[in-house]
Amino acid sequence: MAYASRIINHSKKLKDVSTLLRREHAAMVRYFSNTNRAPLNREDTFNARLGYSPLERISKCSIGTVPVCGFSTTRTILSSAMGRPIFGKEFSCSMQSARGFSSGSDLPPHQEIGMPSLSPTMTEGNIARWLKKEGDKVAPGEVLCEVETDKATVEMECMEEGYLAKIVKAEGSKEIQVGEVIAITVEDEEDIGKFKDYTPSSTADAATPKAEPTPAPPKEEKVEQPSSPPEPKASKPSSPPTGDRVFASPLARKLAEDNNVPLTNIKGTGPEGRIVKADIDEYLASSGKGATAKPSKSTDSKAPALDYVDIPHSQIRKVTASRLAFSKQTIPHYYLTVDTCVDKLMGLRSQLNSFQEASGGKRISVNDLVVKAAALALRKVPQCNSSWTDDNIRQFKNVNINVAVQTENGLYVPVVKDADKKGLSTIGEEVRLLAQKAKENSLKPEDYEGGTFTVSNLGGPFGIKQFCAVVNPPQAAILAVGSAEKRVVLGNGPDQFNFASYMPVTLSCDHRVVDGAIGAEWLKAFKGYIENPESMLL
């Protein structure tokens, strides 16, 4: 009987579904339009329902964020209790997802475009150039801007049709975190002017923590005031355990000696009562000694000031510095050097170039032959075509050779994929194309990702005789190629001698992956291909 009455009561409440939905919608609109209202939380959403109890409420409201390929849009979802329930995690995201709404009711629906992650290692980026202006119409596939990532400059394309209402991060902005808002788009052209003074919620959220530390100094003053009567007790803990010794930082001691300031007259504010530079500066400013000490320093200084200019770090420079520092700190390097006779290699190259010129093709360089020989040696000794992981040694079946290219912006290492399966003319054409794109700073992620071995040649272009390269993580080896030079070698007879050209190469290995004997075996295979280049054509 009780069950039947409960069904009758609920059936009466279902008659008022449409009325409750209208009331819910009006309540939410008033809530988002109220600028003085506290942020929405779960209790406010469920309890501020025009006096209805939880059982009498039929509809529920949630706010969900809908990511659109790097864009972030916001929507309000009203759903009936008879449909899909909206509780839990989806509702708890309401404060973060309210970015599409404003504190006032004058802003139309819009999209916040965030800084995309354009490479696996990218954490921040720079805006190199905006190709669209505020007010321009954008369509799917059109380029919005050029983003300087940690490895290259990549074009960022638009995914939806609309109008660029606001550029939040101007051209040249640096160190923009992935996901940070860089622009606003709207659907209707007449809504563009409403975003002239718009500030995204991410910057507003960042401003709130900055406002909180400001009350911190008053808290310190309040603590000092009650402890002002027993000030000797506060100073005793730092001095008794050390006796007559005064703790001070080296910089503070040097500054005190230069200005003849006794450290016993200064109370330290550093950790455990340590005297720091700020304490000395404050003492000099209060006693008036600072003004007299500085002129004496300038007169005593004999060395003239250095003239210099600070060059800001580019993204590629930052990444190169961090990766190479990581390599030298974590990878146990060792080096193997061998001389290779290149007389037959040079002869084969001249013959191939004559064929290329006759057919209208591009000339083949010594570096192209080195890349091919390295790829074939990796196929013969696959242990060098590996990388170290925490759980195992990963041996790659693809032979992808990175080629180091120096540009004005920094060092790039574009990749020639499946170099062991390609001909010399194809390798040469790809290397030239990738080097040109690197110099123009237009490499795409697929142009430099996926390498398993690196070749760095400083001999041909710069005449460096021999050098040791740094392993490019996560790879296990890198080949450094020096310049070829003619040498006198002994002939068959006692008084006979000949001339031959030798090119030194040095293999840098990760000892965790490649043992010394394995590295020597790879160099033996590489030397065999260089000194007998016809075998590379088989």
Catalytic positions, please?
511, 515
**Ramachandran assignment for 273, one of left (phi > 0), alpha (psi -120 to 50 degrees), beta (any other):** left
The secondary structure of residue 248, as a DSSP letter, is B
H-type alpha helices, 143-249? 201-211, 216-227, 231-235
H-type alpha helices, 140-230? 201-211, 216-227
Name 296's Cβ contacts closer than 8 Å, sequence gap at least 6.
Answer: none
Tokens 């506060």, located at residue: 234
Residue 218, strand partner residues: none
In one letter, which amino acid is 252? A
d(CA 460, CA 484): 8
424-439 and 366-380 helices, crossing angle to 10°: 110
Confirm if 507 and 519 have CB atoms less than 8 A apart. Answer: yes
Q: Find the helix or strand (DSSP H, E) in which 424 lies.
A: helix 424-439
Distances (CA, A) of 488 to 136, 243, 297, 417, 502: 70, 75, 62, 39, 10
d(CA 466, CA 463): 9
**Distant-in-sequence contacts of 80-86, Cβ < 8 A, 24+ apart:** 80/17, 80/21, 81/57, 82/58, 85/60, 86/60, 86/61, 86/62
Confirm if 111 and 158 have CB atoms less than 8 A apart. Answer: no
End-to-end CA distance of the chain: 92
Tokens 């003053």, located at residue: 221
Distances (CA, A) of 49 to 37, 43, 55, 58, 86: 15, 11, 11, 11, 16
Query: Omega of the bond prior to 240 within 30 degrees of 0, cis?
Result: no
SS (H, E, C) 90-114: HHHCHHHHHHHCCCCCCCCCCEEEE
- CA 280, distance to chain mean position in Å, is 40
Which strands sit side by side in the sheet containing 137-138, from one edge to the other? 59-68, 71-80, 111-114, 181-186, 162-167, 137-138
d(CA 187, CA 164): 9
- What φ, ψ does residue 254 adopt, rounded to 5°? -65, -45
